[in-house]
């Protein structure tokens, strides 16, 4: 076995996990398909020490630093299959190659499913945004909208007035209840019940939205909670359990980031209900640290077992 750990995914979570293992001098393979969820964003914000850097630049520097460790290999490619095999894991890549390791860290990420509204998809990550903490400051002072996609959208509408004048678009589907309406009124949130049918402006800039009743409402940015799905089938292939998150499935992990499959750890958006660059990186650190400790404890227990067996004889 040439590697002790295979980390699948090279975004913030995967790089952070691999770094901990590299510094523990473990043999690590990082496999990165090169299609991170944040590839549509111009900059990463709120990430201490990296505020304003492009996600691509952060990942590029992370890989450069990781490559300085002699026990690390980095491979560009997509993992298409992973199976448990004789106390190890066999991982097959799209180029036909196969590697084996005692542990796997899944940092496979998630994919976003956006509402089918003309002009929305091409502005994703620019003027159509998912997180006010990540992007609110850059559009502050403007006319902001929340496009409701689920009941939780009302929570975003309560937050956004700290960044700008806010309109909550119910899409004729997610009407606020009496308590929510009272709270929105207290926060000066405007309620618009006619659905958005088109986004207008010189892409990627947003200037206004067209409503189903024909009106045009000026907007500088719109926030939308996209429904999410696993970006990779690997966790399901391995038999990992999932929980229902607010936006989609989440890989179930314990506090140590180990999944329900022994030896498989998970980090990042695929294993976090809350999605944020710092949280993804932090969960990667936890996964890497606990993955290393599981290797240590396995070796220690194997050393103890023969002595215990001899005492029993």
Query: 72-117: per-residue pLDDT in tens?
Result: 999 999 999 999 998 899 999 999 999 999 999 999 999 999 999 9
Residue (of 184, 170, 153, 127) closest to 247 by Cα position: 153
8 Å CB contact between 267 and 8: no
Q: Please give the pLDDT value at position 1.
A: 47
**Rounded Cα distance, 294 and 196, in Å:** 51
Per-residue pLDDT averaged across 200-207, rounded? 96
In the structure, what pLDDT confidence band is assigned to residue 39 with cuts at 50, 70 and 90? confident
Comparing CA positions, the residue from 38, 39, 19, 40 lying closest to residue 30 is 19
pTM for the full predicted model? 0.93
Question: Would you tell me the crossing angle of helices 55-67 and 12-23 to the nearest 10 degrees?
Answer: 20
pLDDT band at 198 (very low <50, low <70, confident <90, very high): very high
Please name the residue ranges forming H helices in the chain. Answer: 12-23, 55-67, 132-135, 153-159, 178-186, 234-238, 277-312
Q: What is the pLDDT of residues 157-192, one digit of tens each?
A: 999 999 999 999 999 999 999 999 999 999 999 999
Question: Topology of domain 5-112+227-312, per CATH?
Answer: FAD/NAD(P)-binding domain (3.50.50)
Percent of the chain's residues with pLDDT above 70: 97
> What rounded mean pLDDT belongs to the chain?
94
Query: Cα(91)–Cα(119) distance, rounded to whole angstroms?
Result: 39
Residue 307 has pLDDT above 80, yes or no: no
| Predicted confidence (pLDDT) per residue in 245-296, tens digit | 999 999 999 999 999 999 999 999 999 999 999 999 999 999 999 999 999 9
**CATH fit for domain 115-224, picks 3.40.50.150, 3.50.50.60, 3.40.1650.10, 3.40.50.10420:** 3.50.50.60
Q: At what angle do helices 277-312 and 12-23 cross, to 10 degrees?
A: 40
Query: Per DSSP, what are the bridge partners of residue 119?
Result: none
Start-to-end Cα distance in the chain: 33
* pLDDT score, position 37: 87
pLDDT tens-digit series, residues 41-80: 888 898 888 888 999 999 999 999 999 999 999 999 999 9
Residue-level pLDDT at 309: 52
Structure tokens at 18: 């691999």
In the chain, which segments carry CATH 3.50.50.60?
5-112+227-312, 115-224
Strand 196-200 and strand 208-211: the pairing is antiparallel
Long-range contacts of the stretch 98-102 (C-beta < 8 A, 24+) = 99/2, 99/3, 99/6, 99/29, 100/1, 100/2, 100/3, 101/1, 101/3, 101/4, 101/5, 101/6, 101/29, 102/1, 102/4, 102/5, 102/263, 102/295, 102/298
């Amino acid at each position: 076995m040439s590697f002790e750990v295979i980390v699948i995914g090279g975004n913030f979570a995967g790089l952070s996990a691999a770094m901990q293992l590299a510094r523990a001098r473990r043999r690590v393979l990082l496999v990165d398909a090169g299609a991170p969820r944040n590839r549509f964003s111009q900059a990463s914000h709120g990430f201490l020490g990296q505020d304003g850097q492009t996600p691509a630049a952060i990942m590029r520097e992370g890989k450069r630093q990781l490559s300085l460790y002699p026990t690390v290999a980095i491979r560009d490619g997509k993992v298409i299959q992973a199976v448990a095999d004789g106390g190890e894991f066999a991982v097959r890549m799209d180029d036909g190659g196969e590697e084996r390791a005692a542990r796997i860290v899944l940092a496979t990420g998630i994919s976003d499913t956006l509402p089918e509204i003309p002009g929305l998809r091409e502005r994703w990550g620019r003027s159509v945004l998912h997180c006010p903490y990540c992007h609110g400051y850059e559009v502050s002072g403007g006319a902001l909208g929340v496009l409701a996609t689920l009941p939780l959208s009302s929570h975003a509408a309560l937050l956004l007035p700290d960044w700008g004048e806010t309109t909550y678009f119910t899409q004729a589907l997610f009407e606020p209840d009496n308590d929510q309406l009272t709270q929105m009124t207290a926060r000066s949130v405007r309620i618009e019940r006619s659905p958005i049918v088109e986004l207008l402006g010189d892409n990627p800039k947003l200037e206004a939205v067209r409503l189903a009743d024909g009106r045009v409402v000026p907007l500088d940015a719109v926030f939308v909670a996209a429904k999410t799905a696993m970006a990779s089938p690997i966790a399901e292939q391995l038999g990992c359990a999932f929980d229902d998150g607010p936006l989609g499935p989440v890989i179930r992990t314990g506090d140590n980031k180990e999944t329900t499959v022994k030896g498989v750890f998970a980090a990042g958006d695929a294993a976090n209900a809350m999605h944020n660059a710092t949280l993804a990186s932090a969960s990667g650190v936890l996964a890497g640290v606990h993955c290393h400790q599981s290797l240590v404890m396995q070796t220690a227990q194997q050393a103890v077992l023969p002595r215990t067996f001899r005492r029993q004889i």
